[in-house]
């Protein structure tokens, strides 16, 4: 009975050492691969951890370890990108470093009523309306429905027959266009 326990303990120690050696051997290459494909270090570390977690939990034999690691890593990157929150109208008045610009968003807050903010608000809505008219109909419609009218993507998908991912992509292109078009107005309003 003690021989079986000794063999089991030895086998487990060997397996643990093999896993540790494998992780050490692939960490640097995989992290470099991930960093080229994601926006920030925290996401890269999360993805790498998920890959190794899947490796440790794997119960099937892996014939080509390198191919397996890079396939799983690519899938984890894709999953992370799919799970990202869709762009929203707040992204239009967000600076390049991701900080919300308080003076800009305060123009739209309740209780901030005076002739100047009413005028600035009207300028914004005119510029937004003009920028929306420049968009292709599909992008404009999904932006208006989801962001301005609050219709969930799932409902829009049911109404239009498009997939949710297609709608999210269209909205993203709309937000990018609007951010670009409204940046001039934003700079004029904040620097005046």
How many CA atoms, within 13 angstroms, populate the side-chain half-sphere of residue 102? 0
pTM: 0.45
The CA distance from 140 to 68, in Å, is: 41
Residues 55 and 72 in one domain: yes
Give alpha helix (H) positions in the chain: 2-35, 41-57, 65-83, 102-106, 115-134, 137-143, 153-160, 164-190
The CA distance from 142 to 167, in Å, is: 6
Q: What is the pLDDT, as a whole number, of residue 138?
A: 92
Q: What is the pLDDT, as a whole number, of residue 100?
A: 43
Q: Which domain holds residue 29?
A: 2-83
Q: What is the pLDDT, as a whole number, of residue 41?
A: 86
Residues 55 and 132 in one domain: no
Q: What is the pLDDT, as a whole number, of residue 15?
A: 67
- At residue 34, φ and ψ (nearest 5 deg) are -70, -45
Residues 126 and 155 in one domain: yes
- Structural contact between residues 108 and 148, judged by C-beta atoms closer than 8 angstroms: no
Domain boundary (53, 68, 83) is at 83
| Largest Cα–Cα separation, the chain | 88
Residues 47 and 137 in one domain: no
Q: What is the pLDDT, as a whole number, of residue 101?
A: 41
- Structural contact between residues 30 and 73, judged by C-beta atoms closer than 8 angstroms: yes
- Structural contact between residues 23 and 54, judged by C-beta atoms closer than 8 angstroms: no
Q: What is the pLDDT, as a whole number, of residue 137?
A: 92
Q: What is the pLDDT, as a whole number, of residue 80?
A: 80
The CA distance from 88 to 54, in Å, is: 33
Residues 116 and 75 in one domain: no
- Structural contact between residues 93 and 101, judged by C-beta atoms closer than 8 angstroms: yes
Residues 172 and 100 in one domain: yes
Residues 171 and 125 in one domain: yes
Residues 115 and 146 in one domain: yes
Using a 10 angstrom Cβ sphere, with 0-12 exposed, 13-18 middle and 19 or more buried, the burial of residue 61 is exposed
Q: What is the pLDDT, as a whole number, of residue 108?
A: 54
CATH number for the domain spanning 151: value is: 1.10.10.10
- Please choose, from the candidates 151, 172, 181, the residue with its C-alpha nearest in 3D space to the C-alpha of residue 89: 172
pLDDT tens for the 192 residues of the chain, in order = 455 555 567 766 776 777 788 888 888 999 999 988 888 888 888 899 988 888 888 888 888 888 888 888 988 888 887 776 545 555 544 444 444 444 444 555 555 566 766 777 777 778 888 888 999 999 999 988 888 888 888 999 999 999 988 899 899 998 888 888 877 777 766 665
């Amino acid at each position: 009975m003690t021989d079986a326990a000794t063999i089991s303990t030895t086998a487990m120690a060997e397996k643990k050492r093999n896993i540790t050696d494998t992780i050490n051997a692939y960490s640097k290459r995989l992290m470099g691969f991930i960093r080229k494909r994601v926006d920030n270090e925290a996401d890269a570390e999360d993805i790498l951890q998920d890959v190794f977690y899947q490796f440790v939990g794997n119960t099937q034999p892996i014939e080509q370890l390198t191919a397996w690691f890079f396939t799983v890593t690519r899938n984890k990157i894709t999953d992370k990108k799919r799970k990202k929150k869709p762009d929203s109208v707040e992204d239009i008045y967000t600076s390049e470093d991701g900080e919300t610009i308080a003076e800009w968003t305060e123009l739209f807050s309740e209780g901030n009523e005076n002739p100047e903010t009413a005028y600035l608000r009207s300028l914004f809505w005119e510029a937004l309306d003009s920028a929306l008219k420049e968009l292709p109909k599909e992008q404009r419609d999904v932006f208006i429905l989801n962001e301005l009218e609050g219709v969930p993507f799932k409902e829009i998908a049911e109404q239009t027959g498009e997939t949710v991912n297609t709608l999210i992509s269209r909205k993203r292109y709309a937000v990018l266009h609007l951010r670009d078009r409204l940046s001039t107005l934003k700079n004029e309003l904040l620097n005046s």
